[in-house]
A and B are shown apart, each in its own frame.
Chain A
Amino acid sequence: MNELSELKVNILQLLKEDARRSSDLIATLLGVGEEEVRVAIKELEDDHVIVKYATVVNWSKVEEEKVTALIEVQITPERGRGFDSIAERIYLFPQVKSVYLMSGAYDLLVEVEGKHLREVASFVSDKLSPLEAVLSTKTHFILKKYKQDGIIFEEHEEDHRLAISP
């Protein structure tokens, strides 16, 4: 892991806020040349520091609602490969949205998304639990997302400042 330049850190912050910002706008905001920003972004992409530009969607706003569950998974680590190989077997399923190795009472925290409860439940019973290394699972369904990745899902508060003030 190499240390990032201040410019790159600033670029990452600006893109994290809004990934659609152009390199021209970022250059203006940071007071540097556009070329410099373009090169830095290219390097960040090549080094896989910038992994992807994705959109944060509030699915509860649309008809086609999704069900998300967080599943605590206890596993027996595999000799020589620790938790990694079993984690890989789990994260390769497309319905798995995230997998974290955790300290504490369980080992993996798995986020699974499905169209409805049944779909998630059958994923757990048919795919996850039967894995040899999996000792136990505990499924928690998410009822409402308030904030994700630092982004608050509720509508923005209106600007209630006076339009003109001294």
Chain B
Amino acid sequence: MVNQSVKAENPTGMKHYINPLVRSIPPSGIRKFFDLVSGSKDIITLGVGEPDFCTPWHVREACVYSLERGMTKYTSNAGIPELREEIGQYLNDSFHVEYNPANEIMVTVGGSEAIDLALRALVNPGDEILIPEPSYISYSPIISIGGGVPVGIETTAKDEFKLTAEALQAAITPKSKVLILCFPSNPTGGTMTYEDYLPIAKIAQENDLIVISDEIYAELTYDQKHVSFASLPGMKDRTILVSGFSKAFAMTGWRMGYACGHRDLIDAMLKIHQYTVMCAPVMGQIAALEALKNGKEEKDRMVESYNMRRRLVVKGFREIGLDCHEPQGAFYAFPSIESTGLSSEAFAERLLFEGKVAAVPGNVFGKGGEGFIRCSYATSVAQLTEAIERMGKIVAKIKHEM
């Protein structure tokens, strides 16, 4: 009924009311694939971008207890002081970066809000924002809404999906303003070492770039320790460090993140934050505090469990004839499906419909993603084993047809 009356008044629909910058954002490729998958039955999904663990019980319990005590009010805009202090301590202990909890740290609604705030605070219409790709899919749309121009920089399997100085240098123009880094990388699992970062830092300095470093997967690194870009010499003031609790502590649904940086930048972000969301939910903040204080053991156990499954899938993909670089972080493998002669989308669709396995086609992640699929290994060993077996059959079938 409602629809009909709207139609009667607006025969052309309502779309013309929408801000052209929003209207022109292309529909997400992941969304399209999600709709395909939602209609399928009995599938094993490797498409999930979140941990398969439930939030550790002590964290959930701390939140329940806080509710019982009636902690249900607004907190200060930047988040409860105790949590900011704990975040500062944690970043210093783990990654050797020092932030003042009083004015350089703010708690946000997920790492996502922190990214949004940083981009809104920085991007002027026409500014070029550099994004190493394949990349997490949310940066470009947010940049576009602000009138900025996302500029993808292709990274390749040959370089283990690291950002190289040459590629970055080649993408820089006088309009370049911000570089977004997301290492460990979703979707490739690529990481950057201190040595990898040194020339990047030099270029950032020379070209006066601000860096938004999305380090949400910092805790999920294997056989190496995560390096925060902010810990590079001279980079702290240039960097907005974004992170959160979702991946490290299996807390995706809580939407708890944070941003750290120079007080002028955090001030600006805080201004937007206070007018839009006021503060992150207090129950989530209490839970996050508990996670930081007492969650190390459970976190380490989860990381070790991802590491085992990482070895399983990389070996599995290689055995069924897919090239797969060894991801050093996050919980994604990014095997190449080039040997099948199919596009990412065509392969992912056949894998879904014929093999009953869901994986995300690599092309949705931007430049360099075509020819790959993203497979999350945050799924049980039994499911992974079954999924690899099914994939093996499909790959063999496709190659047989060639």
Contact = CB atoms under 8 A, between A and B. Distances in A.
B249 interface: no
A159 B137 CA distance: 24
Contacts of A29: 308-309, 311-312, 381
B311 A161 contact: no
Contacts of B33: 164
A19 B309 CA distance: 17
Given A28-B311, A29-B311, A31-B311, A161 B50 contact: yes
Contacts of B309: 29
Interface stretch (B40-48, B93-101, B390-398): B40-48
A161 B52 contact: yes
> Is the interface on chain B under 10, 10 to 19, 20 to 34, or 35 or more residues?
20 to 34
A166 B315 contact: no
A79 B41 CA distance: 68
B50 A163 contact: no
Interface string A13-31: 0100000000001001111
Interface string A152-166: 000001010111111
B34 interface: yes
Classify the interface of chain A: helix, strand, loop or mixed. loop
Contacts of A28: 311-312, 315
B37 interface: yes
Contacts, number: 52
B43 A163 contact: yes
A30 B28 CA distance: 37
Interface string B61-75: 000000000000000
A97 B329 CA distance: 45
A164 B50 contact: no
B112 to A, nearest CB: 10
Contact of B50 (A25, A30, A157, A165): A165
Given A28-B315, A29-B311, A163 B45 contact: yes
Contacts of B385: 25
Interface in B225-269: none
Interface string B354-377: 000010100000000000000000
A159 B381 contact: no
A14 B308 CA distance: 10
A166 B45 contact: no
A155 to B, nearest CB: 15
Interface in B13-33: 28, 30, 33
B381 A25 contact: yes
Interface in B326-367: 358, 360
B138 interface: yes
Contacts of B28: 166
A57 B308 CA distance: 27
A31 B304 CA distance: 12
Contacts of A166: 28, 30, 49, 136-138, 186
Contacts of A165: 30, 34, 47-50
A28 to B, nearest CB: 5
B12 interface: no
B140 to A, nearest CB: 12
B30 A164 contact: yes
A25 B309 CA distance: 10
A164 B48 CA distance: 5
Contacts of A161: 48, 50, 52
Given A25-B381, A29-B381, A163 B312 contact: no
Contacts of B308: 14, 29-30
B173 interface: no
Given A28-B311, A162-B48, 13 more contacts: A25-B381, A30-B308, A161-B52, A162-B34, A163-B45, A164-B33, A164-B37, A164-B358, A165-B30, A165-B48, A166-B28, A166-B136, A166-B137
11 contacts: A14-B308, A30-B311, A161-B52, A163-B37, A164-B30, A164-B33, A164-B34, A164-B47, A164-B358, A165-B48, A166-B137
Interface of A: 14, 25, 28-31, 157, 159, 161-166
The 6 closest A-B pairs by CB, nearest first: A164-B47, A29-B308, A164-B34, A165-B49, A163-B45, A163-B37
